[in-house]
Each structure stands twice: as C-alpha cells, then as structure tokens.
Amino acid sequence: MNYALILSGGSGTRLWPLSRRARPKHLIRLAGARPLLEQTLDRLDRLIPPDRRYLITIPEQAPLVRDMARDRAVGIMIEPMGKNNLFPMALTTRLISESDPEAIIAFLPSDHSIAEPEKLKSSLGLAFDVARKGWIVTLGIPTRHPETAYGHIHIGDEISGYENRNYKVYEVKKFREKPDEKLAEQYYESDEWYWNGGIFIYSAMAMMDLISKAQPELADILDQLSGVLARESPTMEKPVFDWAASTEIHEAYDNLPKKFQTSIDYALMEKADRVATIPVEMGWNDLGSFAALADLVDADDNNNRVGPRRDGEEPRVLLPGSTDTAVFPGKRTIVCMDCHDLIVVDTNDAVLILPRKSSKDVRSIVDKLKDRGWKDLL
C-alpha cells in the first residue's frame, strides 16, 4: 500500500520575523493562503487516505501540528529534538515496515508551495509504480534560474516501460548539493540538470536496504529500536507518538552520532545506485526566502508587491516613487518613498528591512538574536 511521510518541523529561521520556532512557515498563513501543512494534507486527499499518513514534528510545534492534522493522519511523531531529517525518516520508515513490509512511501516536506497540485498527484501516482520496481524516485523541478541554495539532479537515460504515462522517467546520474555560482549557471543552461525538490518516493524494503549498505551503523540503531516501534504504533484514535516519552528512542537521539544528524540527501541519496527522477513543472516554490515568498503576491506596474495583513484587514501601505519593493505588513501604516529592491516585514514585536538580494541571509539574523539573548524573538 501507499503511505505518506510528511516533515512538519523546521526552525523557522528563513522567514523571520514572520516565522518563529514555535510557529514556522508551514504553520502560519503566508501571502493570505492557508497554512502550508494544511495545503500539503489537502494535496494527499484522494491519493493517500488519512490512516496511511505520518507526520514528524518537534515539541514546540506539536500542538499546532496535532490540531491541523486531527483526523487527517494516523501518526504524529514528536521528536525529542530536531536533528535534521535522516534519523526521523529512517525511524518512521522502519515503523511503517513493521506492519507493512511492502509499503511504498512518499517522503514530503510540508513547507513548500505547489501551484498545480494535480500535477503533483499525477506524478506521485507514476512514482509509486516506479518505486514498486525497486527504484528510489525523486521529483525533478525544472530550473528557473541559477540557484546555489538548492540541491540539483543530473539525469541520465530514460527508463523504458513508462512511455505512455504523463511524465518521463529518467535514471539519476548524480546528486549535487548546493553548487557554487559557476556550477549553478552551468546547470541552469543545461537540459540535463533539475532542482531537487526534496520529495522522495521509495519502498520501505528498498530504503532499509540502502541504509544497511550505505550507513550500516544507522541500520544497527534501527534494529535495536525495532521492538519499541512495533510496540508503540499510533492509531487514528491515538495518533501522537511522543518519542521523548520512550526511553530507548530518547537515548538514541541523545547519543546519535554527528554523521547521522544530517539530511537523507547527503547520507543516502548521494550513495544510492538505483535512483530515478520524474521531471515535473508543478509551480513548486520552497518559500526559502522573502524574495521567493514575494513571488506569490501580485505585482503592480512598478513591480511592487504588498502582501495581505495577517488579521485579514486592509493593508495600509504607500509606495510613492518605489520600484521592485515587497512589503509584508502588520497593523501599522508603512510608507516607502523612493525605495528600490527592498523587502519590508512588519510584525508586532519586530521590523525587518533588507535589500532583496540579501533575503537568503535572514537565517544569520536569528543567530545574532541568539547571541544577544533575545529569546523572546525566536
């Protein structure tokens, strides 16, 4: 059967001050839309039923995740602490495999925007079929510009047997994480490179086999926890599985080797042999910066963009003489006179103003807040 495994944690740093640790971008309204986690669950309707959906989150976000996923997921796995996505993916995949060794799993982030969800559904349907043949499948996003912040996928030969489907399927020659500017430009100009959207589809059997071969020490940890996972499986009536309450799992997190506190891209996919990709243009946006978020807002004749107020009231923003400026307003009136290529973000307790080109560096601001001890702003 087909399952969904949804990442629902995150530190909330790249869209600060809108996004905070307890309320990161997938749990808040952005550009007037419903929270991204709700949108992710919506996209799975008529594809994967609620009793085969699992979510992974962290303690600070668990109450909101639980409320949004109520009756829409069978498992809400609460990590004792966030340590990237490799270990929770491996743990939950092992948990699913304990009850269904033939499971096919779609591993999805909950903090991305997808403008054409029907294309996602269609490509996932194909990906499930490919994964049943033992491939680990990723969805490739056509590059729209040179990008150093995304992982890239180098496609090889087309895989036969899927010629009559809506999308083509290719072997993956190579994964490349976050290239430098020169390589990013080369990848953009090539028709053999795609962005890695972070969506993976695999059989539980194939993933467990890959972990055993690529990371045998991690496989040993999973074997030691198999009894706990089999004993504590969540249900629709009691979906929350608090890993912190399990002595064995909590200790595994506490003692997790540094090399496993990483992403599946680095630890597994770069070492995998049988990987396929399905290129699909579905209006994907990882919303990893305010510049990316601004793309969801309509522009005026001067390419200025004003997002909606989060309380639903009419924004009070004036932009005389300004161009290429994006404003995400709070309750206050904002006037930007003769401003160019700026981003302005207003919240109740903080205001962020920065050049558009610096929007990828917002994460560093959170580090400075920590250094100052301003925990109330995190």
The mean-pLDDT minimum among 29-38, 68-77, 293-302, 341-350 falls in 29-38
Mean model confidence pLDDT for the chain: 94
Average pLDDT over residues 167-180: 92
Task: Give the pLDDT of residue 304.
Answer: 98
| Section 78-97 average pLDDT | 95
pLDDT at 339: 97
* Domains identified in the chain and CATH numbers: 2-288 (3.90.550.10), 291-377 (no CATH)
Confidence of residue 10 (pLDDT cuts 50, 70, 90): confident
Which tens digits make up the pLDDT trace of 278-289?
A: 999 999 999 989
Quick check: 108 pLDDT over 80?
Answer: yes
- pLDDT at residue 137, as a whole number: 98
pLDDT at 312: 86
Single pTM value for the model: 0.93
**Confidence at residue 176, expressed as pLDDT on a 0 to 100 scale:** 87
pLDDT on residue 3: 98
Check whether 88 has a pLDDT greater than 80. yes
The reported pLDDT for the residue numbered 330 is 94
Whether residue 74 contacts residue 51, with contact meaning beta carbons closer than 8 Å, is answered with: yes
Pick from 2-16, 48-62, 324-338: least confident:
2-16
Model confidence over 327-369: pLDDT tens digits? Answer: 999 999 999 999 999 999 999 999 999 999 999 899 999 999 9
pLDDT, position 178: 86
Q: What is the pLDDT of residues 196-243, one digit of tens each?
A: 999 999 999 999 999 999 999 999 999 999 989 888 778 999 999 999
In the predicted model, what is the mean pLDDT of residues 85-105?
Answer: 96
Please determine, for residue 32, whether its predicted confidence score (pLDDT) is greater than 80.
no
